[in-house]
Amino acid sequence: MNTQQPFSIGNCQISAFENKLFCADKACILQPKFIELLTYLVTCYPNAVSREQLIENVWDGNQYVGEKALTNAIWHLRKSFKELDPDNTYIETLRKTGYRLVQKPTTPEPVNSINNTPLRSGYIYAAVLAIVILLGSYWGYSALFENAKQPLAQSQQAARLYDYIETITTSPGRELFPAISNDSHFLAYSWRRPGHKANLYLRDLHLPEQAAIALTDTPFIEGRAVFSPDLTFIYYYRRISGQGCEVIQQNVASGNTTILGQCGSKASTDIDINAVGTQLVYISEDDENNSLTQLNLVDLTSSPYTVTQIPCISACQYTDESVVFSPDATQLVVSRNLPTGFEELFLIDIKTGNAKQLTTGFIDMRGVDWHPSKAQLVFSGVKKGKRQGYFYNLKTQQMINARIDGLSYPEFASDGSLYFHQWNIDSALMRLEVNNAVASSPFPVLSSHFSTRFPDYNKARNKLAFVSNESGSMELWTANKDGTSRKQLTNLNANIYHPVWSPDGDYIAFVASHPSGHALYLYDFNKQTSQLLPTGFRDHGKPSWAADSKSVLVSDDQHVYRFDLNGNKLEQAIDSPTLYAYENQQGALIFANQATNQLWIKDPDSQTEQPLVSEINLSNHNSWYFFEGDTLAQSRIYYFNVKQGDYRLSYYDFSNQDHHDVIRLPERAFSRSSGLTYITSANWLVYSSYKSPQIDIKRINHQYLP
Q: pLDDT tens for residues 351-382? A: 999 999 999 989 899 999 999 999 999 999 98
Res 438 pLDDT > 90: no
What is the C-alpha separation between 225 and 639, in angstroms, rounded?
33
Tell me the percentage of the chain whose pLDDT exceeds 90.
51
Task: Return the closest-CA partner of residue 55 out of 2, 99, 8.
Answer: 99
Task: Return the closest-CA partner of residue 3 out of 120, 111, 109, 107.
Answer: 107
Say what the pLDDT of residue 176 is.
93
Say what the pLDDT of residue 19 is.
76
Contact 339, 355 (CB under 8 A): no
The sign of the torsion formed by the CA atoms of 619, 623, 628, 631 equals positive
Q: pLDDT tens for residues 185-233? A: 999 999 988 777 889 999 999 888 888 999 999 888 898 999 999 999 9
Give the three-class secondary structure for 435: coil
Res 595 pLDDT > 60: yes
What is the CB neighbour count within 10 angstroms for residue 216?
A: 21
Q: pLDDT tens for residues 149-183? A: 333 334 344 447 878 899 999 888 889 999 999 99
Per-residue confidence band for 17, with pLDDT thresholds at 50, 70 and 90: low
What is the C-alpha separation between 548 and 545, in angstroms, rounded?
8
Determine the average pLDDT of the residues in 248-257: 93
Say what the pLDDT of residue 333 is.
97
Say what the pLDDT of residue 666 is.
79
More confident of the two residues 441 and 439: 441
Least confident range from 49-53, 264-268, 410-414: namely 264-268
What is the C-alpha separation between 456 and 442, in angstroms, rounded?
17
Least confident range from 300-304, 436-440, 688-692: namely 436-440
Q: What is the reported pTM? A: 0.64
Contact 345, 368 (CB under 8 A): yes
Give the three-class secondary structure for 326: coil
Per-residue confidence band for 127, with pLDDT thresholds at 50, 70 and 90: very low
Task: Return the closest-CA partner of residue 162 out of 479, 418, 473.
Answer: 418
Strand arrangement, sheet containing 386-393 = 364-370, 376-383, 386-393, 399-405
Q: What is the mean pLDDT of the chain?
A: 85
Res 299 pLDDT > 80: yes
Residues 6+ apart with CB under 8 A from 492: 473, 475, 512, 514, 521, 530
Say what the pLDDT of residue 116 is.
34
Length of the chain as a residue count: 706
Say what the pLDDT of residue 136 is.
40
Residues 6+ apart with CB under 8 A from 240: 219, 220, 221
Residues 6+ apart with CB under 8 A from 663: 432, 439, 442, 648, 649
Say what the pLDDT of residue 1 is.
44
Contact 131, 124 (CB under 8 A): no
Say what the pLDDT of residue 539 is.
85
Tell me the percentage of the chain whose pLDDT exceeds 70.
88
Q: pLDDT tens for residues 512-539? A: 987 777 899 999 999 999 999 999 998 8
Q: pLDDT tens for residues 92-122? A: 888 777 899 998 888 754 433 333 333 333 3
What is the C-alpha separation between 325 and 312, in angstroms, rounded?
17
Residues 6+ apart with CB under 8 A from 220: 197, 238, 239, 240
Per-residue confidence band for 451, with pLDDT thresholds at 50, 70 and 90: confident
Contact 695, 167 (CB under 8 A): no
Least confident range from 4-8, 250-254, 412-416: namely 4-8
- E strands in 525-644: 529-533, 544-545, 551-555, 560-564, 569-572, 581-583, 589-593, 598-602, 609-613, 624-627, 636-643
22 phi, psi to nearest 5 deg:
-120, 135
128-164 as b/e, with b when 16 or more CB fall inside 10 Å? eeeeeeeeebeebeeebeeeeeeebeeeebbebbeeb
Res 411 pLDDT > 50: yes
Per-residue confidence band for 679, with pLDDT thresholds at 50, 70 and 90: very high
